[in-house]
């Protein structure tokens, strides 16, 4: 059987086929994104507010975004550990200010760093580019 389509109809048909595949692909991507769901944690939520209140982001980065005077703190919790972080927050250093944080604020900030650390890795060297252009982390 030979189907003859006029130029316009052919174009519409091609467009519909492309649209169909575009929608299928979009649907596939959005339902398969490697997004982790992390339980909301009370300490972490309060710690995030302290992080904003003291504008830690002015000097530090989270996932590479922020100021560049201090280091990226996305994975500081697993790299340095809570005792090290607490000592830093209590005393500051020559360039890192001492904010005279209350013990509760320090506890909350530690919760924030714990949750942040669990959300992924910030070092691009550890990223794996997958076939469809998304990024996977080990």
Q: Which residues bind ligand HEC (CB under 6 A)?
A: 54-56, 58-60, 69-71, 73, 76, 80, 85, 88-89, 93, 95-97, 99, 109
Pick the closer one to ligand HEC by CB: 32 or 52: 52
Residue ranges with strand state E in 1-138: 61-62, 65-66, 127-129, 135-137
- The residues pairing with 136 across neighbouring beta strands, listed in sequence order, are 128
**Distance in Å, CB of 30 to ligand HEC, minimum:** 34
Under a CB-based contact definition with an 8 Å cutoff, are residues 121 and 131 in contact?
Answer: no
Residue 76 tokens, joined: 């500081």
Dist. CA 19–CA 16, nearest whole Å: 5
C-beta closer to ligand HEC: residue 44 or 76: 76
- If the CB atoms of residues 37 and 100 are measured against ligand HEC, the closer one turns out to be 100
CB 54 to ligand HEC: min, Å: 4
Q: Which is nearer to ligand HEC, 6 or 93 (CB)?
A: 93
Contact 63, 122 (CB under 8 A): yes
């Amino acid at each position: 059987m030979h189907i003859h389509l006029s130029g316009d109809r052919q174009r519409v048909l091609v467009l519909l086929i492309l649209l169909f595949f575009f929608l299928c692909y979009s649907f596939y991507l959005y339902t398969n994104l490697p997004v982790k769901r992390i339980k909301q944690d009370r300490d972490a939520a309060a710690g995030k507010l302290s992080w904003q209140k003291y504008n830690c982001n002015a000097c530090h980065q989270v996932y590479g975004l922020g100021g560049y005077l201090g280091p990226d703190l996305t994975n500081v919790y697993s790299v340095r550990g809570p005792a090290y972080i607490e000592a830093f927050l209590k005393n500051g250093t020559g360039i890192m200010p001492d904010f005279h944080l209350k013990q509760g604020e320090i506890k909350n900030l530690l919760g924030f760093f714990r949750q942040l650390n669990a959300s992924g890795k910030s070092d691009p060297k550890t990223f794996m580019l997958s076939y469809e252009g998304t990024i996977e982390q080990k």
